[in-house]
Amino acid sequence: HDLMAIHCYNAPEDTYAFYPHSVRNIEDLCASIVRSHRETSQHRLEELQALRWKLFSREEIQAYQSKSVDEMWQHCAIRLTDAVQYVVEFAKHIPGFRMLSQNDQIALLKTGSLEVVLVRMSRFFNTENNTVFFDGKFAGSEVFKSLGCGDLIEAVFDFAYGMCALKLTEQQIALFSALVLINADRPCLEDRGRVQRVQRSVELGLTHILHRDNQENLMHKLYQRMAVLRSLCSLHMEKLHWFSQRYPLTAHSLFPPLYKELFV
């Protein structure tokens, strides 16, 4: 049970996270979330910016395209699982998350971690040529051809493009990611009331940041993005189901344990 590693028995008493009455506390909450985002973001924006024209060569693209379906699925599942592990680290440092029961922490990560990975993908995306930083270079959607799920890939790339169009700051991305994760409407929660209190505090944080940035109009667009995220995740589950029926052996023995635990 890899997700067990997230459990923490005696979380520090960051109780203010549940009722951030004063602006000072909201600012502390935002600062914690932004710090956690920064420390778990895999690559800094300047780093990605410097690499943005490092593209895969024709030969390298061909090598990805000539992989077998199961080889490419395994490869992507490993990359995705890496990214999920950083999201688990991010979650652990959202004030209030560690006060939730282990069951509820796992339930939130099961439904939300892929969504946060997809939000984070916008940081890794170059809209000038529709490529994503993957395996050390920028890759267009054709790199993923051998997965055999072009509709999922197109939808994921479209989503990244749309997120980029919002031109969010790192702080806004951090708070939005936290809100995607801490969602009291997720299935299988034990203590919905407690999750709701943490969710409200994160919502206050995001509202505060958008107000400060004079971009309150973004809130409505972000809620729309959340609905799209949900549909992308169900499309991923659909494709995974299709894949594991065709290649049960790969799905069972070659997928990373955390990937199986979250999705299979």
Residues of this chain that interact with ligand MHQ (CB under 6 A) are 42, 73, 76-77, 79-80, 83, 117, 120-121, 124, 132-134, 144, 147, 153, 156, 239
Cβ atoms < 10 Å from Cβ of 202: 27
Choose between 147 and 178: whose C-beta lies nearer to ligand MHQ: 147
**Residue 191 DSSP SS3:** coil
Paired with 126 in beta bridges are 131
Structure tokens at 25: 């506390």
Q: Residue 32 Cβ, how far from ligand MHQ at the closest point, in Å?
A: 20
Q: Residue 59 Cβ, how far from ligand MHQ at the closest point, in Å?
A: 20
Cα R_g (the chain), whole angstroms: 19
Residue 82: its H or E element: helix 69-92
Choose between 184 and 233: whose C-beta lies nearer to ligand MHQ: 233
Q: Residue 153 Cβ, how far from ligand MHQ at the closest point, in Å?
A: 6
Choose between 20 and 112: whose C-beta lies nearer to ligand MHQ: 112
Choose between 118 and 189: whose C-beta lies nearer to ligand MHQ: 118
Crossing angle for the helix pair 69-92 and 170-181, to the nearest 10 degrees: 100
Residue 133: its H or E element: strand 131-134
Q: Residue 116 Cβ, how far from ligand MHQ at the closest point, in Å?
A: 9
